[in-house]
């Protein structure tokens, strides 16, 4: 086993890595155990997932600070009328009462993934559940790309960063999985806390450049609150100097020159979230290390079409 996950995340001649985004959101309910298991069984080595922490300190696998109305039903099977309680405001036990197995019809979010299976009785899993899964055969060669969710503009939505990071690290360290995970965040304050608490676990710096009409508030620019005081325009250089191992830009932000800069600095480059075949082809041509996709099988097939493998 390698000292950390990086050797299995770095591209090598003829190999580009595939990360299943939230499992395989295009075809299976996101951030669910069923989604992770079936994605692994379908031949994907690396899954990406999102972590938040409950009121009672449990690291759980879910993307939004509050339960999402478009993908959540209550105990009686009714769709949430609006986004639900903050994850940070409910206990893990309370959270298990919600069903996150399917997307609500005729919602903007639901319509984004028309091939996603609709299931009932699926709950937000604990990070400990997924760590237990990959600690046992046949999943002991699988890797987790764990995004810790935190927003510097919404500090009340998540616990203090030291607690958020400690809760995330707890099941990883308990299962001895430090060499099977990377930790990523848009909030680089979180990555700095990870460096303090678990310096041996590789850190991945997510970025999203500002653009006109950007649909997200997470934008990384010199002096942005997301960068925790770091400054400059050359993201790969900043990340390398900050001790990062991975740069994970939005795929449309990436240009060939920056791939070279990043690689010259020893960084791994993982792009998110690449779903369209033409965009997948562009990323293969750019020579990234890893492609994060809601359709990991589609990426594998595009890689094969170009003579590549993923493992």
77: left (phi over 0), alpha (psi -120 to 50) or beta: left
Q: Site residues for a copy of itself, window 269-298 (CB under 8 A)?
A: 277, 295, 297-298
Question: Quick one: 7 exposed, middle or buried, by C-beta within 10 A (0-12, 13-18, 19+)?
Answer: exposed
When asked if residue 41 is in the footprint of a copy of itself (CB under 8 A), the reply is yes
Q: Name which of 101 and 202 has its Cβ closer to a copy of itself.
A: 101
x/- letters, 88..127, toward a copy of itself (CB under 8 A): ---------------x-xx-------xxxxxxx-------
Looking at beta carbons only, is 139 or 221 nearer to a copy of itself? Answer: 139
- The residue among 43 and 155 lying less far from a copy of itself, judged by its C-beta, is 43
- Which residue among 1, 7, 14, 43 contacts a copy of itself (CB under 8 A)? 43
Q: Are 269 and 249 in contact (CB under 8 A)?
A: yes
279 sits in which H/E element: helix 277-286
Q: Which of 226, 216, 221 is nearest to 188 (CA)?
A: 226
Which of 149, 298 has the CB closer to a copy of itself? 298
44 backbone dihedrals φ, ψ, rounded to 5°:
-100, 130
Interaction between residue 305 and a copy of itself (CB under 8 A): yes
3-state SS class at 179: helix
301 binds a copy of itself (CB under 8 A): yes
The H-or-E segment that residue 109 falls in is helix 108-112
Q: What is the DSSP letter of 155?
A: G
Q: With CB under 8 A as the rule, give the number of residues binding a copy of itself.
A: 27
> In the complex, what is the shortest distance from the CB of residue 169 to a copy of itself, in angstroms, rounded to a whole number?
31
Residues at the contact surface with a copy of itself, assessed by CB under 8 A: 26-28, 34, 38, 41-43, 103, 105-106, 114-120, 277, 295, 297-298, 300-302, 304-305
């Amino acid at each position: 086993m390698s000292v950390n996950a990086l050797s299995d995340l770095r591209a090598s001649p003829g190999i580009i890595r595939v990360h299943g985004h939230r499992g395989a959101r295009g075809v299976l309910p996101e951030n669910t155990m069923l989604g992770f298991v079936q994605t692994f069984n379908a031949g994907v080595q690396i899954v990406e997932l999102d972590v938040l922490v409950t009121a009672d300190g449990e690291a759980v696998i879910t993307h939004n600070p509050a339960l999402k109305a478009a993908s959540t039903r209550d105990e009686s099977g009714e769709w949430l009328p609006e986004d639900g309680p903050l994850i940070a405001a409910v206990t893990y036990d309370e959270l298990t009462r919600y069903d996150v197995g399917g997307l609500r019809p005729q919602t903007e979010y639901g319509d984004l993934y028309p091939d996603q299976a609709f299931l009932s009785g699926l709950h937000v899993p604990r990070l400990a559940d997924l760590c237990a899964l990959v600690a046992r055969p046949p999943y002991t060669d699988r890797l987790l790309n764990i995004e810790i969710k935190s927003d510097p503009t919404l500090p009340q939505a998540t616990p203090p960063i030291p607690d958020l990071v400690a809760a995330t690290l707890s099941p990883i360290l308990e299962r001895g999985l430090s060499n099977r995970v990377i930790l990523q965040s848009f909030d680089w304050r979180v990555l700095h806390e990870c460096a303090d608490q678990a310096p041996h676990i590789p850190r991945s710096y997510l970025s999203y450049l500002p653009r006109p009409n950007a649909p997200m508030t997470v934008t990384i620019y010199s002096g942005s609150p997301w960068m925790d005081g770091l400054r400059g325009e050359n993201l790969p250089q900043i990340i390398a100097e900050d001790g990062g191992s991975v740069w994970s830009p939005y795929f449309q932000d990436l240009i060939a020159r920056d791939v070279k800069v990043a690689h010259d600095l020893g960084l791994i480059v993982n792009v998110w979230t690449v779903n369209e075949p033409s965009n997948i082809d562009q990323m293969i041509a750019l020579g990234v290390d890893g492609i994060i996709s809601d359709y990991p099988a589609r990426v594998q097939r595009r890689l094969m079409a170009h003579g590549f493998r993923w493992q």
